[in-house]
Chain A
Amino acid sequence: MDKMLVSPSPHIHAKVSTDSLMRDVIIALCPAIIVSVLFLGWAELLVLAVSAVSCVAIEWAICKWVMHKPELCSCSSALVTGLLLAMNLPVTTPWWIVLIGAVFAIGVVKMSFGGLGQNIFNPAIAARVFLLVSFPAQMTDWTVTKGFISLDAVSGPTLLGLASEQGAGAVAGLDHLQTLLLNIGGSAGEISALALLAGFVYLLCRRVIKPWITLSIFATVAAVSGIFWAVNPEVYTGPLFNLLSGGLILGACFMATDYVTSPMTSWGGVIYGFGIGLLVMMIRYFGSYPEGVSFAILIMNMTVPLIDRAFHHRQYGRK
């Protein structure tokens, strides 16, 4: 080089970049995606592809033609949103509903707040809830499509739906090991708790996220459902069932830990996780919807600025 660079210190940089973080999240999602495609087949692949491609395309288009700042476009982060959205949708969702979800997630929830890092709500979850209230029939159609690995197809309500409609007794005889490994019925993100947890462990090992939010959600859900279950196991479902069913693991490991919409400090994360866990159980037990992870996360998203205001790192030399 004929001209030497000059800049203020520091002159070196850690290797972790926004793109590498997002790449790690995508890698962590891979086991769950593979399992879901294996068991749900081409239909699931279509949902994933439509969601991922449209999210990236919409982000790029808005950055380029609406905001006129193409450099703001973060394809990796839009891809994560797209994958997470797809994993929250039933496999039978028509492609145009997936597209509407992507437009809502990126266009309304993310970009209208100013793009990456500015949104209050998790785009994938907000879009899922938007679709759920807009297209209730399609969004609760848990028909199972033919997968590459064939199992006796079960169709009908999810386990949570069952418990909600018919009471805890309906799911009392459930094999929990079976739910942990494989749970056909529900969206792609609800199929294999084990695959999701593997991804979560990967994120922890790569130091992409801290465990506190997730652990706090699990602990709260376990504690709350444990208390209710101990009081009346006839009416209320038990802790193990609540931990393993529905979108809790996907939500707690991948959605609640989204940097942008979660508190920055560890203690803030604990409070945030506690709030989510409590709301999830309240909705599951007393709400009209069988599942409450999405609502719980959205509601707690709103409290993040307040939590961040209350919790700070300890400063050197100050009490």
Chain B
Amino acid sequence: MSLLEVRGVTKAFDRTPVLQGVDLDVPSGALAAVLGPSGCGKTTLLRVIAGFERASGGTVTVGDRLLAGPGRHVAPERRRVAVVPQEGALFPHLSVAGNVAYGLPRSAPRRDRRVAELLELVGLQGYEQRMPAELSGGQQQRVALARALAPDPVVILLDEPFSALDAGLRASVRADVRSALHASGATAVLVTHDQEEALSTADVVAVMRDGRVVQAGTPQEIYRTPHDIDVARFVGEAVIIPATVRDGVVWTTLGALPLAGAAADGVGMAVLRPEQVILVPEADGLPARVLDTVFYGHDANVMLEVRCPGDVLMPVMCRTQGDLPRSESVGVRIVGPVTWFPKRPYDVMPAGAQDAASA
């Protein structure tokens, strides 16, 4: 049962359409990520859900309460939808305690207790009297989360809350926010353009493009079985090779590969992830030449040029955690099923497509 339901929401600014019929379902207690490149309308969607913008069409429902729909626009302060904006946006004239208590009624019982509990939840106990200017970026972000949780909202919206933090801090704040959200049992929507953040933080991911949600599912579903080639490319690094499906087998220049899911026979392209490409001794796989390696510490990307049957040269990227190849000549093998997409009229086939089709 979904708690937050967005149905066919449209929004245009000065006749420029920004949202073109967005559908989104977030189950109660889940953390959903809306993932998309900048300009895809994800922040506008968030502002429509919060009530800062009026939708041009469609409905927004929380539980059984219609928040926005034809002829209906509930004011932001009546929605019980709290936001954590980019860079926190703490009230600079109020202390940490003043910020967290802002949404609590003045007469609320045990107001100070509640503030202390929330600060403990976000790992900032004892910070009540600090002013926002005295906090680091990560601390400000945590206070902003505590402030949003304070009035016990039904939904919490987070607008790229980690993008202003530096890389090292980002991971730890992200983990803390995730556990604080789970501990509070709140339903949350996180907007981000960072695929790694979306996949690692969220229970459900909705990929947005050109004002629409093109695919929604668990992080694994999105990554393993993307809806189309563009989603595949957007949610992670992808090796795209021309491929033909016949009888449930994907025929490529790299050989016959098992198909993930089902597909009708036809010409198109296969997507494999770099971690599906395994380096083996030269004799045990397809012969390949190392063009370049990029070392990240925990793993490395190796750019290869694979010599396929029929002397076709195919660029392929491989992710390896083992030792880097010592010599220029290596062998490769592909493991696991691959996703395949039929050719669309506007797709430009990569080099070797003809050979693959006739292979």
Partners in one complex: no
User: Hey, which bits of chain A sit against chain B, CB under 8 A?
Assistant: none
